[in-house]
Amino acid sequence: MAMIINGKEIAANVKREVAAEVEQLKAQGFEPGLAVVLVGDNPASRVYVNNKKKDCAEVGFASYEYTLPAETTEAQLLDLVAKLNADPKVNGILVQLPLPKHICEQTILHAISPSKDVDAFHPENVGRIMIGDYSFLPCTPAGVIEMLDSIGTEIAGKHCVVIGRSNIVGKPMAMLLLHRNGTVTICHSRTQNLAQQTKQADILIAAVGKADFVTADMVKPGAVVIDVGMNRNAEGKLVGDVAYDEVEKIASAITPVPGGVGPMTRAILMRNTLTAAKQQLLK
């Protein structure tokens, strides 16, 4: 039976640390602020934004929400981003994805000031992650590293397999594992003999976006399995990319869905916002 890596508990610890620092900043008359922009009425995005507002309240941040109609133009959204970039009360800016199809996500993400880009999606921040000279990290990959550290998993020298090559999770995840001296294999939709690759993993990270995609026959006995996926199965139940019930029997440690990586992503967002606030305060 695998150890269950409780993302809620680890995230609560991260948020407690952030809240303690925020208290000190407030004592100096400085309140960190996070602006979240939501365009349209995507129900899942609405849930994410509400959760982020709760997190802000929990750690003591000022929270600024900008809810815009789906027909908002790209130019209008760029105007808002420019105003938030210039607003000293706003230390972090998060534009909730996905955006409506008529707005280019890349254009918007590139417009956010790198110093306020708490998702770490701006090309400047991506480049800094590549060379290991970064201020903050993409929230989900950083959350995964935090989870591995929390259970004492040694990354150096381990074979780490990442399934998925997205700019948000797969690619930065591979870089963070490399920075920690892991030997990294990235698998994706064109990988041949996928199970042969995944069965070699001491640490297996699934970020493919397909319900129950990773089955027990794809996992090395004793592997640490991190499930980044958030999917709905045929019954409408929230499940990950890993077939949890069967993989849990052979893994040494595994993250549940829900209650695994999801809470960590939000906790790291709070930490990134605090980091951005402190850096801006020092300028």
Query: Which residue in 52, 158, 171, 220 is the catalytic one?
Result: 52
Query: Which residue in 15, 55, 96, 158 is the catalytic one?
Result: 96
**Residue partners of 119: CB distance under 8 A and separation at least 6:** 94, 109, 138, 139, 269, 272
For residue 265, give Cα distances in angstroms to 23, 61, 65.
22, 17, 19
In whole angstroms, what is the distance from residue 166 CA to residue 133 CA?
Answer: 21
For residue 276, give Cα distances in angstroms to 62, 136, 157, 167, 236.
14, 8, 32, 21, 38
Amino acid sitting at position 56 = C
Query: Which residues share a beta bridge with 187?
Result: 163
Q: Tell me phi and psi for residue 168, to 5 degrees.
A: -85, -40
Query: Which residue in 15, 55, 117, 119 is the catalytic one?
Result: 119
**Residue partners of 194: CB distance under 8 A and separation at least 6:** 163, 187, 218
In whole angstroms, what is the distance from residue 31 CA to residue 33 CA?
Answer: 6
Active site residue 119: yes
In whole angstroms, what is the distance from residue 4 CA to residue 6 CA?
Answer: 6
In whole angstroms, what is the distance from residue 221 CA to residue 88 CA?
Answer: 51
Handedness of CA 233, 236, 238, 244 (dihedral sign): negative
SS (H, E, C) 109-162: HHHCCHHHECCCCCHHHHHHHHHCCCCCCCHHHHHHHHHHHHCCCCCCCCEEEE
Active site residue 76: no
Active site residue 52: yes
Using CA atoms of 168, 173, 179, 185 in order, give the dihedral in degrees to the nearest 10.
Answer: -130
Catalytic residues: 52, 96, 119
